[in-house]
Amino acid sequence: MSWIDPDFPRIAEPTDLVGRVLGLNPGMLTGPGTNTYLVGRSHPILIDTGAGVPEYLSLFAAYLERRGWARPERIVLTHRHRDHMGGVTPLRERFPGVPVAKMIFKDAALPDGIQDLHDGQPVAGEGVTLIPIHTPGHASDHLCYYLPEEQALFTGDLILGGSTTVIPDEDGDLGQYLDSLRRVQGLGVRRIYPAHGPVIEDAPGKIQEYLDHRMLRERQILEMLGGGARTIPDMVKAIYTDVPVALHGHAAMSVHSHLKKLKQEGRVAEEVVPGAPSRWTLR
């Protein structure tokens, strides 16, 4: 996959309010790795912590030193997935007492002492404010962070630089995901800082592209059902002709997310077949 860019810079300063340190966890789902952002002119707020790769901690410490910063003032998380939260424990060991917050929602196994963050509850830093925006769909606890000083949005995994977002069977919900995209569309965002991949300068264009992509997929699926396709494997084979077979598991999850949404809307019916894929029909 091309979006695992080995030359992606490990550190960057997109603006004087935002610094970035790469989580050093490249992969098919993470691209070049998870971006962790330091926001503020001093006493920075850290958004996300990567997967807990040991080399990240050294890179992070070296970056702080270069900026003349002793420690992150606080840590906020976009959601509970491992590639965003895995660095919490090592960072707390290195910076004892640093407060960590996320939206606590359907969370079973969080590290101790994580504070709850609500939609709209501002987090103030040095010359910056972060406004958490609850944006479920990829994960039920997902927050984006709006930075009014730049009209910018830290999108976590809602919008990525270089790939589409996975809607997991467990805890994902495509209908909620589309509602979340429409909600951030209404914020008047200009720049996007995604959790994976490069900064996106044309935020309105990218949000529309994401919405259009899902709408196109939905039309394709409805057309295939109209043409007689019945099972997810059949639809994946027909739609994802240009995608390596290794990714067909994720493609199947994506088709399933559409079918679940259409079923909730009463537009398709599912016939569960024991020991075989469900059979789907238009209603």
Residue 141 touches Zn ion, criterion: CB under 5 A: no
Task: Return phi, psi of residue 274, to 5°.
Answer: -60, 130
Is the CB of 81 or the CB of 256 nearer to Zn ion? Answer: 81
In the complex, the smallest distance separating the C-beta of residue 157 from Zn ion, rounded to whole angstroms, is 4
In the complex, the smallest distance separating the C-beta of residue 216 from Zn ion, rounded to whole angstroms, is 23
Give the CA count within 13 Å in the CB-facing half-sphere of 25. Answer: 22
Regarding beta strands 191-194 and 268-271, do their DSSP bridges make them parallel or antiparallel, or are they unpaired?
Answer: unpaired
In the complex, the smallest distance separating the C-beta of residue 134 from Zn ion, rounded to whole angstroms, is 15
Which residue is it, tokens 């927050």?
Answer: 143
C-alpha to C-alpha distance for 193 and 160, rounded to whole angstroms: 8
Is the CB of 31 or the CB of 40 nearer to Zn ion? Answer: 31
In the complex, the smallest distance separating the C-beta of residue 30 from Zn ion, rounded to whole angstroms, is 9
Work out the burial of residue 87: count CB atoms within 10 Å of its CB; fewer than 13 is exposed, 13-18 middle, 19 or more buried: buried
Instruction: Mark the segment that binds Zn ion (CB under 5 A) among 14-22, 74-82, 89-97, 219-227.
Output: 74-82
C-alpha to C-alpha distance for 166 and 255, rounded to whole angstroms: 11
Work out the burial of residue 197: count CB atoms within 10 Å of its CB; fewer than 13 is exposed, 13-18 middle, 19 or more buried: buried
Candidate list 74, 81, 256, 261; residue touching Zn ion; CB under 5 A: 81
CA distances from 129 to 17, 144, 213 (A): 11, 13, 32
Number of residues that bind Zn ion (CB under 5 A): 2
In the complex, the smallest distance separating the C-beta of residue 106 from Zn ion, rounded to whole angstroms, is 14
Q: Between residue 143 and residue 172, which ones bind Zn ion under the rule CB under 5 A?
A: 157
Of 117, 60, 124, 119, nearest to 88 by C-alpha is 60
Closest residue to Zn ion in the complex (CB): 81
Q: Between residue 182 and residue 241, which ones bind Zn ion under the rule CB under 5 A?
A: none
Instruction: Mark the segment that binds Zn ion (CB under 5 A) among 80-88, 97-105, 232-240, 273-281.
Output: 80-88
* Interface positions with Zn ion (CB under 5 A): 81, 157
